[in-house]
Structure 1
Amino acid sequence: MTAEKTTMAFGWRVYGLGVMALGIVCLALGDFDPGQTVPNNFPARTALVYVAGVFMLVAGAATAWRRTVSWGAAALTAYYTLIVVILMNGAVVLANYAEYGSYSDTAEQLAIAAAGLIVYAANANIDAARAARLTRIGQIAFGVCAVLFGGAHFFYMNLTVPLVPKWLPPSQVFWAYATGVAHIAAGVAILTGVKARLAAILLAIMYASFTPLVHLPMLLANPTSRWIWTENVLNVALVGCAWVVADSLARPLSTPR
């Protein structure tokens, strides 16, 4: 990686809109999304739900706006890293360390933090060398997340197969395995730097295809499900995350913006 800043194309806007959508669903449903694990008996839990929802909505909007993108990205990175990944999901992982799902679920939140760090590095008023280091940290974190996502397909094949449309040839099982392999291959590519940008682009396309093929049909079939609503908007956020990573792997600018 060169000590030069990379340019963000459009992924940062999709990322910001995805986090905004998570905040809106949080406010509409009056509950945290499943990735933000807060016990039901936690003091002032309902108030915290709305605080978190407003925060995600405002920080996501700030990230999607050019003038405030670095502030919004910094806020989201701090929130998802310290509050969501470490405090919320850290306790879940410790309590369920033998369950693969605790790691893959945490990876969804870590991916949002990683993309936020990359967006911050590309837009903040910091020197190019520091921006390059922060960007690479974000890329590595996202690469690990992609590998964990792929592993979840194999650990929970019984849950993955039914999500694949029955009409999609050659079979549901084939696509369950194929998408798992694709996740792992993309993660390894991003971690090693071998065809990393192509891998991130293909990952973003794959996530985008999940909306019309998987998540939207589920929502139409069961529009009252909180989990399905959250999965839809989380997928949009992950599209943005992968897009941000792909943008960060493009040719760097010769001078900081």
Structure 2
Amino acid sequence: MQNPVKIWRVLFAFAIIAIAVQQIIFSVFMPVIVPWPADLAASKPAVYIGSLVLATIAAFIIIDGKAHPAAIYLGLLFLLLLIIFHIPNQFLTTPNFLGSWANSLKIFALAGCSLIVASVLPQGGYTTGFEGMIPAGKYFLATTMVVFGAEHFIYADFVKNLVPRGLPGHLFWTYLTGIALVAAGLGIILNIKRRLAAQLLGIMLLIWFVMLHLPRAMASPRNLNGNEIVSAFEALAFSCGAFILAAVSKRNNIPVTSKVKARRK
């Protein structure tokens, strides 16, 4: 299990570092990181410092001995950004429009993925004091997926335009993926075939990364300060979190006697 998990962990860290690099390139905070206030979001010193902090914490996730606390701190950072910047911004602008909460939900899911990464790593001799938050990670990711799935039905006329042109039946794919997101999210939350739900969610998000997000990013790399590229890396990060959750769920489902035998070997 360790090799696949490490691959997804490294890819997750790479996705976060890539978002930080995008911010430095365009000298602006991406809406998923800091959407408000406008002066802060476009402040070069703040962008450079904030992006370096984000990239540094994510880079430590790649290092075996530092990965566990780094993943927890990254999750806490995302939660702080959600509380300090995203939620106030939403209530000051469009609190009643569910679609405008997309970036808030995304950073909530990124926090969840970070905690999921921490859940699969040995604690070692260093404790952050926030280890108790780790089990909540899967619920953060799953809740976001349920809401995004519901939005496939609420805003179907918009979502269907995101389906690749080569696929027939755009509305069909819109509803099907909406059902899949809701089912996967509820499976994780209610612990109904959690491992399978996480695996299928990871596969679906990875397919979206390849078929939907990468082509859009390549077609418009500089549109909205490279927002399409950031969306691609968000999808990759969510996919990595789902695959790691599936691995964690598999490990937790192994009978105790089997675990003892494995240790003896």
What is the TM-score normalised by the length of structure 2?
Answer: 0.84
- The higher-RCO structure (CA 8 Å, 6+ apart) is 1
Question: Matched residues in 1 for 2:139 and 2:221: separation?
Answer: 36
Measured at CA, do residues 222 and 43 of structure 1 come closer, stay the same or move farther in structure 2, by a change above 3 Å? closer
Alpha-carbon shift at residue 152 of structure 1 (Å): 2.1
Question: Which deviates the most, 37-46 or 93-102?
Answer: 37-46
Measured at CA, do residues 190 and 222 of structure 1 come closer, stay the same or move farther in structure 2, by a change above 3 Å? same
Measured at CA, do residues 104 and 41 of structure 1 come closer, stay the same or move farther in structure 2, by a change above 3 Å? closer
Are 2:29 and 2:42, in contact at CA under 8 Å, matched by a contact in 1? no
Which of residues 204, 207, 228 in structure 2 aligns to 1:206? 204
What is the TM-score normalised by the length of structure 1?
Answer: 0.86
Question: Which deviates the most, 201-210 or 114-123?
Answer: 114-123
Counterpart residue number, 1:3: none
Question: Matched residues in 2 for 1:207 and 1:48: separation?
Answer: 31
Question: Which deviates the most, 203-212 or 216-225?
Answer: 216-225
Question: Matched residues in 2 for 1:132 and 1:63: separation?
Answer: 16
Q: Which runs of 5+ in 2 are unaligned?
A: none
AA aligned opposite 1:115: C
Counterpart residue number, 2:146: 147
Alpha-carbon shift at residue 94 of structure 1 (Å): 2.1
Are 1:218 and 1:228, in contact at CA under 8 Å, matched by a contact in 2? yes
SS in 2 for 1:244: helix
Measured at CA, do residues 131 and 80 of structure 1 come closer, stay the same or move farther in structure 2, by a change above 3 Å? closer
**Correspondences of 1:179-218 after superposition (within 5 Å):** 179-218=177-216
Counterpart residue number, 2:16: 19
Which of residues 109, 117, 120 in structure 1 aligns to 2:107? 109
Q: Which runs of 5+ in 1 are unaligned?
A: 1-5
Question: Which deviates the most, 54-63 or 92-101?
Answer: 92-101
**Correspondences of 1:223-234 after superposition (within 5 Å):** 223-225=221-223, 226-234=226-234
Alpha-carbon shift at residue 197 of structure 1 (Å): 1.0
Question: Matched residues in 1 for 2:132 and 2:46: separation?
Answer: 34
Question: Which deviates the most, 41-50 or 146-155?
Answer: 41-50
**Correspondences of 1:115-126 after superposition (within 5 Å):** 115-123=113-121, 124-125=123-124
Are 1:205 and 1:239, in contact at CA under 8 Å, matched by a contact in 2? yes
Measured at CA, do residues 105 and 153 of structure 1 come closer, stay the same or move farther in structure 2, by a change above 3 Å? farther
Alpha-carbon shift at residue 43 of structure 1 (Å): 8.9
Alpha-carbon shift at residue 135 of structure 1 (Å): 4.0
AA aligned opposite 2:5: A
Aligned residues: 247
The percent of aligned pairs where both chains have the same amino acid is: 24
Question: Matched residues in 2 for 1:112 and 1:52: separation?
Answer: 16
Question: Matched residues in 2 for 1:240 and 1:188: separation?
Answer: 19
SS in 1 for 2:192: coil
2:59 maps to 1:61: yes
Counterpart residue number, 1:70: 68
Measured at CA, do residues 167 and 94 of structure 1 come closer, stay the same or move farther in structure 2, by a change above 3 Å? same
SS in 1 for 2:250: coil
Question: Matched residues in 2 for 1:65 and 1:229: separation?
Answer: 25
**Correspondences of 1:25-40 after superposition (within 5 Å):** 25-36=22-33, 37-40=35-38
Question: Which deviates the most, 143-152 or 244-253?
Answer: 244-253
Counterpart residue number, 1:48: 46
Question: Which deviates the most, 232-241 or 34-43?
Answer: 34-43
Counterpart residue number, 2:235: 235
AA aligned opposite 1:26: Q
Counterpart residue number, 2:158: 159
Question: Matched residues in 2 for 1:39 and 1:131: separation?
Answer: 29
Are 1:18 and 1:240, in contact at CA under 8 Å, matched by a contact in 2? no
Measured at CA, do residues 202 and 27 of structure 1 come closer, stay the same or move farther in structure 2, by a change above 3 Å? same
